[in-house]
Amino acid sequence: MINPGGIPQYTGDFTQLERATSRLRTHAVGIRVSGKDVHSRFQATAIYYRAPEADRLFSSTQPVMDTADEFAADISALADALDTFIHDAKPHADRLKQLKLDAIHFVDGVEGDDDWTEDQKKVDEHQALMDAVATAQDGFHEAERKAANAIEAISPAVCRPRWTADDGSHGSRMYGPDAELLAGIKDLPWGSPEGRTYERWSLGWWGD
């Protein structure tokens, strides 16, 4: 039977994450502008300085501007990845939150009724809840993997394999069971499927 307390819930704060992402973009702009300012202000002194090493001296701040621009681009890419995560993950997190409430309502509704599985409508409702949780959890995991891959791709100096869904082999860089694997698991953290049962006197109990 479904266990409302076992339905995964997002414990983070999307609003705070959005604010943090906005601050990252602000910092990126500041870093880029500061790098350009260092270079342009130093170049402005060229009219007052004449020497054989002048060209080399005044080109020395070009790497400062370039590095600042590259670093700012990386920060912006991180902000993009986080924004995408919020966009992709929040609907699934909201869905899981609502499904927990729906599951609580269902469990309360069949409490004390040992024969509820004889009601096909209730069995179908229960299975729909189980399937919906699996779908939402799979979607949330996909959003996490997508974000992790995007963030790790920001630094090309370190080459890592992409995160993929766990197909049951539990290999390296696998995270979150895929939908097919979830469908085949009978005992999930949020409960187990319930089949239709029949009273002993019914034709359904004896079979065809």
Domains and CATH numbers, the chain: 4-160 (1.20.1260.20)
Q: How far apart (Å, rounded) are the C-alpha atoms in residues 5 and 69?
A: 47
176 falls in which pLDDT band (50, 70, 90)?
Answer: very high
Q: Which of 172, 131, 164, 158 is nearest to 145 (CA)?
A: 164
Q: What's the whole-number average pLDDT of the chain?
A: 90
Number of H helices, E strands in the chain: 6, 2
The model's pLDDT over 3-52, given as tens digits with 9 standing for 90+, comes to: 999 999 999 999 999 999 999 999 999 999 999 888 788 777 766 667 67
For the stretch 183-194, pLDDT in tens is: 888 899 999 999
